[in-house]
């Protein structure tokens, strides 16, 4: 959805959509913010280090955009309520939530993982738990906390940044591009996140809120590594598209660059 669509919904020509992006001060989160501000969206960069977030927000403001930072650690549930209270105090609502923050613990970066090496049977439980704490439990908990603010939006959008690595269909297909890439904790956390997308979208199907999963691609970020195939400039496009869906856009889907992915 472009901003003018929000204007029609609100019947207020000065209305500016408000987006919170977790992990928004770097990598894919920052690139998503850059995509959204170009469309007139006001962005809030959720970040663990507020000083770093404020520096990035200041840079975006100097470029003529509306941006601010907010302390938020997805894995620290105590910060969820604090962030929600601060959002309500500052703005009274939230239009877009991009659940971008995530971790990869099974190798130094995605690029350093060796295809064909499957360590599922020996994966330390602490890695599995830590991965799920951020990629799944923290994301679900934050979304639940912020949902009352999203319900105040004329066109709420929730984007769960998943991965093609969460696709059980592709993981079980010997001909697929990810068949030899088995990284159990990360993959399973994204599969679980996709299940959250489907279930929450079903619950909210009669509201104005749309919920979708995004596969950004294999992007040259701190997590993706230098061996990734996409430049970071491409990494925010899918999330930004889903954040701005029109009223007749999809919900409960799994997409990459506008194309559906198999669950």
- C-alpha 215/C-alpha 108 separation (Å) is 21
Show Cβ contacts of residue 174 under 8 Å, excluding neighbours closer than 6 positions: none
Mean pLDDT within 82-105: 97
Q: Which pLDDT band, with edges at 50, 70 and 90, does 228 fall under?
A: very low
Tell me: the pLDDT tens digits for 27-47? 999 999 999 999 999 999 999
Three-class SS of residue 102? coil
For the purposes of burial, counting CB atoms within 10 Å of the CB of 177, is it exposed (0-12), middle (13-18) or buried (19 or more)? Answer: exposed
Show Cβ contacts of residue 142 under 8 Å, excluding neighbours closer than 6 positions: 22, 72, 74, 80, 83, 99
For the purposes of burial, counting CB atoms within 10 Å of the CB of 121, is it exposed (0-12), middle (13-18) or buried (19 or more)? Answer: exposed
3-12, 36-45, 139-148: which range is least confident on average? 3-12
Strands 253-256 and 259-260: antiparallel
pTM recorded for the entire structure: 0.92
- C-alpha 42/C-alpha 210 separation (Å) is 19
- C-alpha 167/C-alpha 263 separation (Å) is 5
Residues serving a catalytic function are: 186
For the chain, percent of residues with pLDDT exceeding 90: 82
Mean pLDDT of the chain: 90
pLDDT value of position 2? 52
For the purposes of burial, counting CB atoms within 10 Å of the CB of 43, is it exposed (0-12), middle (13-18) or buried (19 or more)? Answer: buried
- C-alpha 127/C-alpha 242 separation (Å) is 30
Tell me: the pLDDT tens digits for 243-261? 999 999 999 999 999 999 9
- C-alpha 210/C-alpha 212 separation (Å) is 7
Residue 219, pLDDT > 50, answer: no
Q: Which pLDDT band, with edges at 50, 70 and 90, does 108 fall under?
A: confident
pLDDT value of position 118? 96
Tell me: the pLDDT tens digits for 61-90? 999 999 999 999 999 999 999 999 999 999
């Amino acid at each position: 959805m472009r901003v003018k669509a929000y204007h029609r919904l609100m019947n207020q020509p000065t209305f500016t959509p408000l987006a919170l992006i977790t992990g928004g001060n770097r990598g894919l989160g920052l690139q998503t913010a850059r995509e959204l501000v170009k469309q007139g969206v006001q962005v809030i960069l959720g970040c663990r280090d507020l000083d770093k977030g404020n520096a990035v927000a200041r840079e975006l403001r100097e470029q003529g955009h509306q941006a601010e930072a907010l302390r938020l650690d997805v894995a620290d549930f105590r910060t969820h309520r604090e962030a929600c209270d601060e959002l309500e105090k500052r703005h009274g609502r939230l239009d877009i939530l991009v659940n971008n923050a995530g971790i990869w613990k099974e190798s130094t970066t995605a690029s350093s993982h060796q295809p064909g090496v499957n360590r599922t049977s020996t994966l330390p439980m602490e890695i599995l738990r830590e991965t799920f704490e951020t990629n799944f439990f923290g994301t679900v908990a934050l979304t639940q906390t912020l949902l009352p603010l999203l319900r105040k939006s004329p066109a709420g959008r929730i984007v769960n940044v998943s991965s093609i690595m969460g696709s059980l269909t592709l993981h079980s297909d010997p001909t697929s591009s990810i068949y030899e890439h088995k990284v159990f904790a990360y993959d399973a956390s994204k599969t679980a996140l996709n299940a959250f997308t489907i279930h929450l979208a079903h619950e909210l199907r009669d509201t104005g809120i749309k919920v979708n999963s995004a596969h950004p691609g294999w992007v040259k970020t701190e997590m993706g590594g230098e061996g990734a195939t996409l430049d970071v400039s491409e990494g925010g496009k899918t999330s930004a598209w889903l954040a701005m869906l029109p009223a007749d856009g999809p919900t409960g889907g799994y997409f990459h660059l506008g194309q559906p992915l198999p669950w």
